[in-house]
């Protein structure tokens, strides 16, 4: 296991579900991070899918001490640097490129890159990465595909994201090569827009209770 993988796993601290968040209103960042942390999900991924995502990361990282804020949907070195400067403790990408690998190599912030095909997994492995995002999980073959990867890629572990929900999360978590899953069901758009932090905290508490079998 690489030192950066160890660092990332230490940050996640056995958390079974990583909330994948799309924050439209930057004012929601702090109360959302607090609600998720109260529910037991301290590590969160704020995606760069909205105009104010970097400011949302900056606020959550700066104001919510109990949260471990990561950035998602990082596509290139420039976004990696921006997310790092905003206070991200880890970086998540839907894929793996030489540019991203170079940016990660020059940073203390660990990268969780996406890899689906054997070639992508091998490229990440050559770069010293043995903990990868599997995205989009359901669309790419889901549990059966990950089972097939376990033997040829012994020592490579995954965080499946995309189509993962409360209904199928345990199917993924039961696999020996899955450390955690990423999902947006713990913070759905309607509850964020309504400011229903109590409901989000309850969903987070349910998700944090999911444990590998």
Contact present, 145 and 127 (Cβ < 8 Å):
no
Catalytic hit among 4, 84, 89, 133: 133
Would you list the domain boundaries of the chain?
3-205
- Contacts of residue 205, defined as CB under 8 A and 6 or more positions apart, other chains included, come to 39, 40
- Give the H/E segment covering residue 188: none
- Rounded Cα gap, residues 157 and 25, in angstroms: 34
- Is pLDDT of 212 > 90? no
**44 DSSP β-pair partners:** 69
Cα–Cα separations (whole angstroms), residue 124 to 25, 44, 46, 81, 88: 34, 23, 23, 20, 21
**Maximum distance among all Cα pairs of the chain, rounded to whole angstroms:** 46
**Active-site entry in 4, 45, 84, 89:** 45
Q: What is the pLDDT of residue 51?
A: 96
Catalytic residue check, 45: yes
DSSP H/E element including 84: helix 77-85
Q: pLDDT tier at 24 (50, 70, 90 boundaries)? A: very high
Write down the pTM of the prediction: 0.96
CATH says 3-205 is which class? alpha beta
- For residue 135 the two structure tokens come to 């995205």
More confident residue, 160 or 212: 160
What percent of the chain has a predicted confidence (pLDDT) above 70? Answer: 99
In this predicted structure, the answer to whether residue 213 has a pLDDT above a threshold of 60 is no
- pLDDT at position 82 is 98
């Amino acid at each position: 296991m690489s030192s950066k993988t160890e660092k990332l796993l230490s940050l996640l601290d056995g958390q079974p579900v990583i909330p994948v968040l799309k924050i439209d209103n930057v004012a929601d960042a702090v109360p959302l991070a607090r609600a998720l942390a109260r529910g037991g999900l301290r590590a969160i991924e704020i995606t760069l899918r909205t105009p104010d995502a970097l400011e949302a990361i900056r606020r959550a990282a700066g104001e919510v001490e109990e949260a471990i804020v990561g950035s998602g949907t990082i596509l290139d070195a420039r976004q990696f640097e921006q997310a790092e400067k905003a206070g991200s403790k880890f970086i998540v990408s839907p894929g793996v490129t030489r540019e991203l690998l170079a940016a990660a190599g020059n940073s203390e912030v660990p990268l969780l890159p996406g890899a689906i095909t054997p070639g992508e997994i091998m490229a990440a492995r050559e770069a010293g990465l043995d903990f990868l995002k599997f995205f989009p999980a359901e669309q790419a073959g889901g549990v059966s595909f990950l089972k097939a990867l376990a033997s040829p890629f012994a020592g490579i572990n995954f965080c499946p994201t995309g189509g993962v929900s409360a209904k199928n999360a345990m199917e993924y978590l039961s696999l020996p090569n899955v450390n955690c899953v990423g999902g947006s069901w713990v913070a759905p758009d309607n509850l964020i827009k309504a400011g229903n932090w109590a409901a989000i905290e309850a969903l987070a508490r349910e998700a944090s209770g999911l444990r590998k079998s």
